[in-house]
């Protein structure tokens, strides 16, 4: 509750700061400080210090899982701002508003990570989505940005419709929005099942699972890269938390009904994400498909829905977000987004190349990185279900395919000749990248540093 209120207040503060302050750096520093505060109050709440006692009437519940997840989100956003805040400013004239929207999106993230009622879920999803439509179109003079924004809005509206329809059907069947109530339904009728499947579709849309992923490459490619980074990481893992909470808490007892659909969606997502990424020529678009492929892996946690799956998803969120933020931060600095644009980067920017390599290795799931151990958790959780072993094998094969397109970047950086055009980077930027890379390796060796927070 601390973080929810603070982030709403911070959003308002950012709005006014744009009007009152003339210096860009002041606005930026307020945003970064604000995020740091957000992280602090959230950690305080985790250790039992809640500043507000508000009766949510059972509509929200801040448990360990959601608070730890919020920590990961705030930390990722903090890193994201450290790396890319200057690039956010460059997108357009109304720079303060972008920070405002980011804080509002964080409000939505907090809602979807702790909802106990479908209303709050809906509210959270919309609070996340609407600012994103704006951010996608923030590069007003760029036609691609505008197109992406419109596409995103149209398809998003479609998915919102599906979600509302699903919620309505479930309310009609159960007479309540409460997840606990819904889960207690005995002998669910067709209405309930239909509602659940509609929610499955709309959530799949939000996490860009196949066959509801079509918006992802177009929107990620069209949006200003700095916001693609935000969408592909923080927003995506938030949607996953909502997804796993919804299907664990509201439809946990219906698992036999939806598990096979999740399995099929997982397989399709892994297949489309990985295979299509192979042929891409632009690193940005490849990362869009990679985000679909990674979503496929995260979907395994939904499929398994056990203790390992929840731990694994937390770990995966952190590993995936941090690595992807790092890669995007480097990508933003490049003049040329194609694979060839990375040629020879190792020679001119050895530090950027080395850290990017670690991020890519982590995404590919090479041991000693956080990406490996989180993939391991996912597969372990899926094996523990004892059913559909083919899915696990398929996931491993697809992870092997993913090595191809991630390593293409490494190959370009290290083994090809070229002179990459790159915008100069600040020392803070470099230090942050190094810390990020170190963090990924530390998490890869000691995943319990993160997971222990879940229990104590």
Task: Provide φ and ψ at 115, rounded to 5°.
Answer: -75, 150
Which structure tokens are listed for 115?
């909802």
Give the C-alpha separation, 51 to 94, whole Å.
33
Instruction: Pick between residue 178 and residue 276 the one whose CB is nearest to another protein.
Output: 276
Beta bridge partners of 178: 117
Check if the beta carbon of residue 390 is closer than 8 Å to that of residue 347: no
Q: Quick check: 218 binds another protein (CB under 8 A)?
A: yes
Shortest reach from residue 189's CB to another protein, in Å = 11
186: number of CA atoms within 13 Å, CB side? 0
Q: Is 376 in the site for another protein (CB under 8 A)?
A: no
* Stretch of residues binding another protein (CB under 8 A), selected from 43-51, 126-134, 269-277, 370-378: 269-277
List, as one string, the DSSP characters of 136-188.
HT--TT-HHHHHHHHHHHHHHHHHHHHHHHHHHHHHHHHS--BHHHHHT-SS-
Q: Which is nearer to another protein, 261 or 348 (CB)?
A: 261
Placement of tokens 């990424």 in the chain: 277
Q: Give me the phi and psi of 142, to 5 degrees please.
A: -100, 125
Stretch of residues binding another protein (CB under 8 A), selected from 87-95, 237-245, 274-282, 429-437 = 274-282
* Calpha distance 112→246 (Å, rounded): 9
Please name the residues in contact with 437: beta carbons below 8 A apart, sequence gap of 6 or more. 326, 354, 355, 358, 359
From 275, 351, 368, 442, residue interacting with another protein (rule: CB under 8 A): 275
Binding mask 164-193 for another protein (x = CB under 8 A): --------------------------x--x
Binding-site member from 15, 32, 119, 155 for another protein (CB under 8 A): 155
Tell me if 197 contacts another protein by CB under 8 A: yes
**Could you say whether residue 75 binds another protein (CB under 8 A)?**
no
Q: For another protein, give the closer residue by CB, 107 or 169.
A: 169
- Contact flag: residue 261 with another protein (CB under 8 A): yes
Distance in Å, CB of 360 to another protein, minimum: 19
Binding of residue 212 to another protein (CB under 8 A): yes
276 lies in the binding site for another protein (CB under 8 A): yes
Find the binder of another protein among 8, 40, 158, 441 (CB under 8 A): 158
Q: How far is the CB of 190 from another protein (least distance, A)?
A: 7
255 is a site residue for another protein (CB under 8 A): no
DSSP state for residue 334 in the 8-state scheme: B
Under the binding rule (CB under 8 A), the answer on residue 239 touching another protein is no
Binding-residue total with another protein (CB under 8 A):
26
Binders in 404-433 for another protein, by CB under 8 A: 404
Cα 401 to Cα 16, 132, 410: the distances in Å are: 48, 31, 15
| CA quadruple 131, 83, 2, 44: dihedral, nearest 10 | 160
Q: Which residues bind another protein (CB under 8 A)?
A: 151, 154-155, 158, 190, 193-194, 197, 201, 205, 211-212, 214-215, 217-218, 257, 261, 272, 275-279, 401, 404
């Amino acid at each position: 509750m601390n973080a929810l209120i603070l982030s709403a207040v911070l959003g308002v503060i950012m709005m006014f700061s744009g009007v009152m302050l003339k210096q860009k750096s002041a606005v930026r520093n307020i945003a970064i400080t604000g995020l740091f505060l957000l992280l602090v109050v959230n950690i305080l709440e985790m250790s039992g210090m809640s500043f507000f006692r508000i009766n949510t009437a059972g509509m929200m519940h801040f448990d360990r899982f959601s608070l730890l997840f919020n920590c990961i989100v705030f930390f990722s956003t903090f890193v994201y701002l450290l790396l890319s805040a200057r690039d956010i400013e460059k997108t357009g004239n109304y720079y303060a508003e972008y920070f405002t929207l980011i804080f509002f999106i964080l409000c939505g993230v907090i809602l979807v990570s702790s909802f106990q009622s479908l209303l709050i879920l809906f509210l959270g999803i919309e609070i996340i989505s609407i600012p994103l439509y704006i951010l996608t179109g923030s590069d007003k003079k760029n036609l691609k940005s505008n197109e992406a924004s419109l596409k995103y809005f149209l398809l998003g509206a479609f998915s919102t419709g599906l979600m509302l329809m699903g919620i309505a059907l479930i309310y009609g069947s159960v007479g309540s929005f409460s997840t606990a109530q819904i889960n207690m339904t005995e002998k669910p009728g067709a209405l309930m099942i239909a509602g659940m499947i509609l929610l499955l579709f709309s959530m799949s849309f939000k996490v860009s699972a196949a066959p509801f992923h079509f918006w992802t490459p177009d929107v990620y490619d069209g949006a200003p890269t700095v916001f693609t980074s935000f969408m592909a990481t923080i927003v995506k893992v938030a949607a996953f938390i909502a997804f796993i909470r919804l299907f664990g808490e509201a439809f946990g007892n219906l698992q036999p009904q939806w598990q096979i659909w999740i399995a099929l969606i997982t397989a399709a997502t892994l297949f489309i994400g990985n295979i299509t990424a192979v042929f891409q020529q632009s690193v940005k678009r490849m990362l869009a498909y990679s985000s679909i492929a990674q979503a496929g892996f995260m979907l395994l946690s939904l499929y398994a829905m056990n203790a390992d799956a929840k731990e694994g998803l937390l770990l995966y969120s952190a590993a995936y977000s941090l690595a992807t933020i790092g890669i995007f931060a480097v990508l933003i600095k490049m003049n040329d987004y194609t694979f060839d644009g990375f040629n020879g980067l190792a020679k001119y920017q050895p530090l950027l190349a080395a850290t990017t390599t670690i991020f890519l290795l982590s995404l590919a799931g090479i041991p000693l990185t956080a990406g490996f151990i989180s993939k391991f958790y996912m597969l372990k959780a899926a094996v523990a279900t004892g059913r559909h072993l083919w899915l696990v094998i398929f996931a491993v094969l697809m992870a092997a395919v993913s090595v191809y397109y991630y390593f293409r970047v490494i190959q370009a950086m290290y083994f090809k000749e070229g002179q990459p055009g790159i915008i100069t980077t600040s020392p803070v930027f470099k230090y942050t990248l190094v810390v990020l890379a170190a963090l990924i390796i530390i998490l890869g060796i000691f995943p319990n540093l993160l997971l222990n927070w879940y229990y104590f």
